[in-house]
Amino acid sequence: MPLTPFIRLVSVSLFLLMGYASRAQNESFFMTPVGPNHLLDTPWDLDYGPDGYLWVTERKAGVVLRVNPVTAERDELIQIPEVSSTAGQDGLLGMALQEGLLDGNPYVYLSYTHLVQGQRKQKLVRYTYAVNGDDGALSAPVTLLDNLPASNDHNSGRLVFGPDGKLYYTIGDQGNNQNSNYCRPILSQFLPTQEEVDQQDWTNYPGKVLRLNTDGSIPTDNPILAGVQSHIYSYGHRNAQGLIFGSNGSLYADEHGPNSDDEVNMIQAGKNYGWPNVVGYQDDQLYDYCNWSSAANCASLNYSYTSCPPNATFLEESSFAAANYQDPLFALFAVTDDYNYNNPACDNAWICRPNVAPSSIAIYENEAIPSWQNSLLIVSLKRGRVYRLKLDEDGTAVVGDTTQLFYTQNRYRDLVVAPDGKSFFLITDQTGNTAGPSGLTVTNNLQNPGAILKFTLQEPVAVGDQAQEPFLRIWPNPVAQVLHIELKPDSESDCRAELINAAGQVVCTVTNLQPGLNELRVADFPAGVYFLRLYSKTHSWQQRVVHY
């Protein structure tokens, strides 16, 4: 395979930017913020607590809080003074609530970075929870595992309980071999020696999923890798920011690809998921491994992700051989060597990269939406969307098309499903770049920074209910610039309109439509077929609109 360049810059269909074989959602959802923008300070982890509150970690502030999902009232449980955050992916990260939190097991487990002799390290700590009325608190910290490697990048930091009562934790590759860390080697394929484990030297833990007892010790049934048993459950990972168990006991994770091939993996004990030698499927497409850290004069070079120094190690995916290698369950979204990063329809190369930056993962197993049962929900920073992947009955394969959900102009950080299966809560980043409505433009103008957004399932849309229609007419249709919506004089005064594109994304929402003439500007949206949905307190209507 030729080298020019290490990531190929040629063409492929543009729809892949938005998702391979993706389609629009059939269901309709109503979005409402839970409280104002900037309610949260750099949120990272979101849990739906057994008390009906939303539990959140604030990465930079080092705060754990409960938020009332109705009133948005904040109850700060603790501010951890030793949390250190000087970069974009360090600070207070993962959180796991002990089963029985309100009934005899009042423990909350947290992961955060702090400084040890001036060096950034990660630690896992158990806290005890107590509540008096509406006022809760965390106290009595017990350190489970300390001196874990930490970095300014790719700490990962998801923490969940398994059905076996063990804690599972993702620790990223530290962002090595790229950007400011380009001369540091990736350790995802490195395993600890017995001497290192005995000395509690966790140097080779990056790029792994860890499994530990609730006291921080190594479970006796953890896999033995290269003759050594450690906390390591699986390895060969890049930046796994999503981790979730299904009710069948299967463990699923998603992780960021370098420029393509974000992965959704089913994590199995002792398996090797290939990074940095393999990205996505082991198919020799688009990606080759350039080990910048192997260049003799690395520090004197200027890093570029599109080239490889002539004296650095350069490997094709097919050169990697490991008996325990495991392909991903799914790659978001696998493309071929002829993919064009420089498509002129895109603002820049970043938005053209076929990745979504998956920041979390959830699983939907509720009966409230029957067609969604046994689906993974992949949360995207870069696209302001959630991607639904339908699993087969065994949960071991993705079947059908990828569905796009919940578009807003935000960076989604984490998601939880309410117990009723009809509401979904998302937390958003305060700053950063994301995609505009078309998916081809970049913006840092976030609609709801540092917020909690609630998406609620709507009743089926009644189309053409003439007796209840609130509008006199909608014109012109087709439309080029401005769509006029004329409501009847006796219409309810709090009608709402949503414009939904062919991918099922709500690209525009107008609230408080008034009786009489209302305007909806569509000039900035791409040409195509849309659906205009109108809602009142008691009814909803839908009309097809063509924009040229």
Catalytic residue numbers, as ranges: 154
* Spatial distance between the Cα atoms of 150 and 405, rounded to a whole number of angstroms: 33
245: Cα separation from own chain's centroid:
16
Q: Enter the tokens of residue 349.
A: 């190369």
Helix ranges (H only) for 313-410 are: 349-352
How many angstroms separate the first and last alpha carbons of the chain? 43
C-alpha distances out from residue 237 to 175, 205, 276, Å = 11, 11, 8
* Spatial distance between the Cα atoms of 469 and 76, rounded to a whole number of angstroms: 46
**CB under 8 Å to 231, separation ≥6 — which residues?**
145, 202, 205, 208, 210, 211, 212, 218, 222
Q: How many residues does the chain have?
A: 548
* Spatial distance between the Cα atoms of 407 and 435, rounded to a whole number of angstroms: 10
Q: Enter the tokens of residue 269.
A: 């004990």
Strands 313-316 and 288-291: antiparallel
Q: DSSP for 411-426, please give it.
A: -EEEEEE-TTSSEEEE
Q: Enter the tokens of residue 534.
A: 């109108």
H/E stretch holding 506:
strand 506-513
DSSP bridge partners of 486: 473, 517
270 torsion bin: left (phi>0), alpha (psi -120 to 50), beta (else): left
User: If DSSP codes are grouped into helix, strand and coil, which group holds residue 472?
Assistant: strand
Handedness of CA 171, 383, 281, 399 (dihedral sign): positive
* Spatial distance between the Cα atoms of 116 and 113, rounded to a whole number of angstroms: 10
Query: Do the Cβ atoms of 185 and 151 come closer than 8 Å?
Result: no
- Report which of 358, 384, 514, 369 is spatially closest to residue 445, judged by C-alpha positions: 384
* Spatial distance between the Cα atoms of 234 and 218, rounded to a whole number of angstroms: 14
Q: Enter the tokens of residue 105.
A: 């097991």
